[in-house]
Amino acid sequence: MILTITDWAGDRISLEPRVELYSVRDFMGKELPGLAIVLDEVSSTPEEAEEYAVLTVSFGEFISLKNGAYIDTNNCYFAGQLLQQGIAEDTGFSRHSGFCQYPLWRFKEEFLKEIGGENYQEYLRCYDEYMDFSGQGRNQGQEMTMQ
């Protein structure tokens, strides 16, 4: 998948997104993977591609919104252009740090599946396992009793 932005000088830039994983922790200190969206500038050959920006920012905490990540609008002035291309939806929530405000986006699953490879599969596996409050799949065949 190739995304296109217009930079501050008016030049068109082609970017190829990929999923990387941050190490984050829940409120109890359990380590989990968090989503990082890295944007590589597309060149004439794949060997020449280099990192253009990291679209997301991590505050080190687990985000319970599936496929959610804070957007680094401080360093990625073009984030709105990417949102208009339909890769995510703005949740309306944001986080403040210093003088900056970082919106929380929920990335579309189709987008993440296309660009994510094994990293996205690992994120999904860990997320689904962590968020399985129902206990389905754990201790099947065993009844819970109150004593």
User: Per residue in 97-120, pLDDT tens?
Assistant: 999 999 999 999 999 999 999 999
What's the confidence (pLDDT) of residue 48?
A: 72
126 Ramachandran zone, left/alpha/beta (phi>0; psi -120 to 50): alpha
User: Per residue in 13-64, pLDDT tens?
Assistant: 999 999 999 999 999 999 999 999 999 999 766 677 799 999 999 999 999 9
By the 10 Å C-beta count (0-12 exposed, 13-18 middle, 19+ buried), 116 is classed as: buried
Helices (H), 32-84: 79-84
Instruction: Provide the pLDDT confidence category of residue 143 given band limits of 50, 70 and 90.
Output: low
